Amino acid sequence: MQTAQVLCRTATSDDVETLFQLIKGYAEKGVMLPRTREVLADLIDTFVVAEVGDEVVGCGSLTKLGDNLVEIRSLGITDGYKSLGIGSKLVDALLAQAKEQGITKVMALTYADKFFERNGFTVVEKEIFPEKVWRDCVNCPKQFACDEIAVLKVLES
């Protein structure tokens, strides 16, 4: 497995069911917000998937929160493929997309802050992202007891 070739690519409509199942597994553990198949189909162009062979083994998406701020969301790896660097490859692909869009600030809310720190992010206060708070957190069941950690990476323009 260590020598497996990983390809990161933009997701297509053929990936919706795989994304749904992968995200559902994380959502059932309470570490990721669930997404319906319909939402995933609508947002498919925001997703990047990681493939090993012809199997999708990871995903992540980029959501625009403001003129110069995007959020990495729904970052997950299939069990059995973790600790192989696939998450970092997905983050690199998402950061490249942000840079292509001229975005210099990339944030995430996570329980895996050490992973993000290894990928050049810094832990910050959630409150510096009012765009996120008013867009998503206002509807979150954890709104008043959020235990996620905010991370930020500023890209060179």
Tokens linked to 107: 């944030």
Q: Which of 60, 152, 156 is nearest to 107 (CA)?
A: 152
Q: Is 155 helix (H, G, I), strand (E, B) or coil?
A: coil
Per-residue pLDDT of the chain (157 residues; tens, 9 = 90+): 455 699 999 999 999 999 999 999 999 998 888 899 999 999 999 999 999 998 999 999 999 988 899 999 999 999 999 989 999 999 999 999 999 999 999 999 998 999 999 999 999 987 777 655 545 554 555 555 567 889 999 998 6
Contact between 155 and 98 under an 8 Å Cβ cutoff? The reply is yes
Q: Sketch out the chain's domains with CATH numbers.
A: 6-154 (3.40.630.30)
Q: What is the pLDDT of residue 31?
A: 86
The Cα 7–Cα 4 span in angstroms is 10
